[in-house]
Amino acid sequence: MDAPRPRSLQDAHGRTISYLRISVTDRCEFRCRYCMPQVMSFLPRRELLSFEELSAVADRFVARGIRRIRLTGGEPLARRGLPDLAARMGRNLGRGLDELTLTTNGTRLVEHAAALRDAGVRRINVSLDTLDPDRFAYIARSQQLPDVLAGLDAARAAGLHVKINMVALKGLNEVDIDPMMRWCADQGFDLSLIETMPLGHIDDDGENRFLPLTEVRARLADRYTLMPSEMRTGGPSRYWQVTELGLTLGLISPLTENFCAGCNRIRLTAEGKLFMCLGHSDQVDVKAALRDGGVDALDAILDQALSTKPLAHDFGVDRARPAVSRHMSVTGG
């Protein structure tokens, strides 16, 4: 007699969950001003899920209906052996999993791009907020722009499709949006612009740096022909074709035009906390369930988590305090 088919992943609002973002570490050598303060405390390594545990969780979630997995951080490639973990998860490709992707700051791609391709990764997102060396050093608190650019060359050489993620920051990198669009078009990269989100206590004033993408899109429409695109990558981007540049432009606007009604995502932190929403603090402890009850215990805790997934996030850029206290690097970008 055949075993019963695992229940599909559907939340209390009828949305099907098919996208799992896994943060493998909260560590990053950058200290981007919209992401974290300059002085950070990171998780002890002993508290992280092991690669064996992460692989087991991914296998079970794919069996329940997860179709896309994105590895994130912090900086995921800061965790030693990350391509090995990608290869383990990549065994699910074609067996329920449609895509395995990665978000990175790009500094380690020279070393790892080919191995990621071998593991089954075909598409990556690289966080890059400006091509200007001085502004890059200010925003990221790092001088590693040459390493990022070399990593992008390595990714292209390895056959990885690249999308640049650029956080739009009022009064800081607004002037870089048009040059970034032209550069991405020349390089054969896609580009997504992202509104800054009120997560965690940071050193900068997030409210004064908030740049509504509705304004950006209106400005761009005065200069370029923006054609709505049917392209979808499983995430929150809504895409436009910039006719004059031959560029695919994504806009991720969680505050001005939120995408909660169609949310298909859940997020697992490096220490095994499963969050249903980036903008809420409700979570379940996957690590405890796995260690206490094995893989079978994951089903029960996943069902419990789905029943609590909120209808929408609770972001508001005009608030004195962030929506949640944890930093973006904890939950994964």
Query: pLDDT per position in the chain (333 positions), as tens?
Result: 444 456 679 888 888 999 999 999 999 999 998 888 887 778 898 999 999 999 999 999 999 999 999 999 999 999 999 999 999 999 999 999 999 999 999 999 999 999 999 999 999 999 999 999 999 999 999 999 999 999 999 999 999 999 999 999 999 999 999 999 999 999 999 999 999 876 545 556 555 788 999 999 999 999 999 999 987 766 677 899 999 999 999 998 877 766 676 788 899 999 999 998 876 678 899 999 999 998 889 999 988 888 887 766 555 555 444 455 444 555 555
How many of the other CB atoms lie within 10 Å of CB of 183?
Answer: 16
User: Domain with 62 in it: what CATH number?
Assistant: 3.20.20.70
Q: Alpha carbon of 29 to those of 142, 213, 315: distances in Å?
A: 8, 28, 27
The β-bridge partners of 238 are: 251
Q: Which of 305, 330, 291, 326 is nearest to 54 (CA)?
A: 291
Task: Give the contacts of 80 (CB within 8 A, at least 6 positions apart).
Answer: none
pLDDT attached to residue 226: 97
pLDDT (tens digit per residue) in 11-24:
888 889 999 999 99
Domain-located, residue 49: yes
Query: Where is the binding site for S-adenosyl-L-methionine, in residues?
Result: 34, 74, 127, 197
Q: Is residue 7 part of a domain?
A: no
Q: How far is Cα 326 from Cα 255, in angstroms, rounded to an integer?
A: 18
pTM of the model: 0.89
- Residue 9: inside a domain: no
pLDDT of 232: 73
Q: Alpha-carbon distance 62 to 266, whole Å?
A: 13
pLDDT the model gives residue 109 = 98
The answer to whether residue 10 is domain-embedded is no
Q: How far apart are the first and last CA of the chain?
A: 43
| Residue numbers belonging to the annotated binding site for GTP | 21, 70, 103, 163, 265-267
Residues 6+ away with beta carbon under 8 Å from 327:
26, 35, 36, 40, 199, 200, 202
With respect to residue 4, please indicate whether it lies within any of the assigned structural domains: no
Domain carrying residue 231: 19-331
Question: How far apart, in whole angstroms, are the C-alpha atoms of residue 189 and residue 185?
Answer: 6
Domains of the chain: total: 1
Please give the annotated binding residues, written as ranges: 21, 28, 32, 34-35, 70, 74, 103, 127, 163, 197, 260, 263, 265-267, 277
Q: Could you tell me which of 257, 276, 278 has the C-alpha nearest to residue 12?
A: 276
List binding-site positions for [4Fe-4S] cluster. 28, 32, 35, 260, 263, 277
11 located within any domain: no
> Is 2 within a domain?
no
Beta-sheet strand order (sheet of 68-72) = 226-228, 238-242, 247-252, 190-195, 161-168, 123-127, 99-104, 68-72, 19-23, 265-268, 273-275, 283-285
pLDDT of residue 157: 98
